[in-house]
Amino acid sequence: MIIKILRRFFLVVLAAAVGNPLAQAQSFSNEHIKIIVPYSAGGSADLMARAVADGLTKIYGNTVLVENMPGAGGHLGAEFVAKAPADGHTLMLGTISHNGAFKMYRRLRYNPVADLQPIVLIAESFNVLMVRETLPVTSVAELIALARAQPGKLTYASAGSGSATHMAAELFKYMAKVDILGIPFKGGAPAQVAMLGGHVDVNFETGSTAAQAIRSGKVRALAITSAARSPFFPDLPTIADSGVPGYAAVPWYTVSTGKGVPAVVVRKLNADINVALKSPELLKRWKILGLVPLGGTPEDALRRNQAEIKRWEAVIDAAKIRVD
Give the SS3 label for residue 92: strand
pLDDT for 25 equals: 52
Question: Quick check: is 289 in a domain?
Answer: yes
Give tens-digit pLDDT for 39-92: 989 888 999 999 999 999 999 999 999 999 998 889 999 999 999 999 999 999
Confidence band for 27, pLDDT divided at 50, 70 and 90 = low
Question: Quick check: is 98 in a domain?
Answer: yes
Closest CA to 62 of 272, 294, 292: 272
For residue 139, the one-letter residue type is S
**Does residue 36 sit in the same domain as residue 114?**
yes
Cβ atoms 158, 199 nearer than 8 A: no
Higher pLDDT, 23 or 64: 64
Mean pLDDT of 302-309: 95
**Does residue 135 sit in the same domain as residue 98?**
no
d(CA 236, CA 134): 19
The DSSP call for residue 63 is P
d(CA 216, CA 322): 34
In this structure, what CATH number is given to the domain that contains residue 209? 3.40.190.10
Confidence band for 8, pLDDT divided at 50, 70 and 90 = low
Look at 78-87, 99-108, 122-131 and tell me which has the smallest mean pLDDT: 99-108
DSSP E strands: which ranges in 233-291?
252-258
Look at 27-31, 55-59, 109-113, 209-213 and tell me which has the smallest mean pLDDT: 27-31
**30-40 as b/e: b if 16+ CB within 10 A:** beebbbbbbbb
Q: How many other C-beta atoms lie within 10 A of the C-beta of residue 149?
A: 10
Mean pLDDT of 17-38: 70
d(CA 279, CA 99): 26
Give tens-digit pLDDT for 246-289: 999 999 999 999 999 999 999 999 999 999 999 999 999 999 88
Parent domain of 281: 31-124+251-319
Q: How many CA atoms lie within 13 A of 122 on its CB side?
A: 34
d(CA 195, CA 200): 5
**φ/ψ of residue 87, rounded to 5:** -120, 0
For residue 158, the one-letter residue type is S
**Does residue 234 sit in the same domain as residue 266?**
no
**Does residue 141 sit in the same domain as residue 232?**
yes
**Does residue 237 sit in the same domain as residue 132?**
yes
Question: Quick check: is 109 in a domain?
Answer: yes
**Does residue 260 sit in the same domain as residue 238?**
no
Tally of domains within the chain: 2
Of 178, 213, 242, which residue is a domain's last? 242
Of 191, 213, 242, which residue is a domain's last? 242
pLDDT for 186 equals: 84
Query: CA torsion, points 14, 16, 21, 27, in degrees to nearest 10?
Result: 70
Of 242, 264, 287, which residue is a domain's last? 242
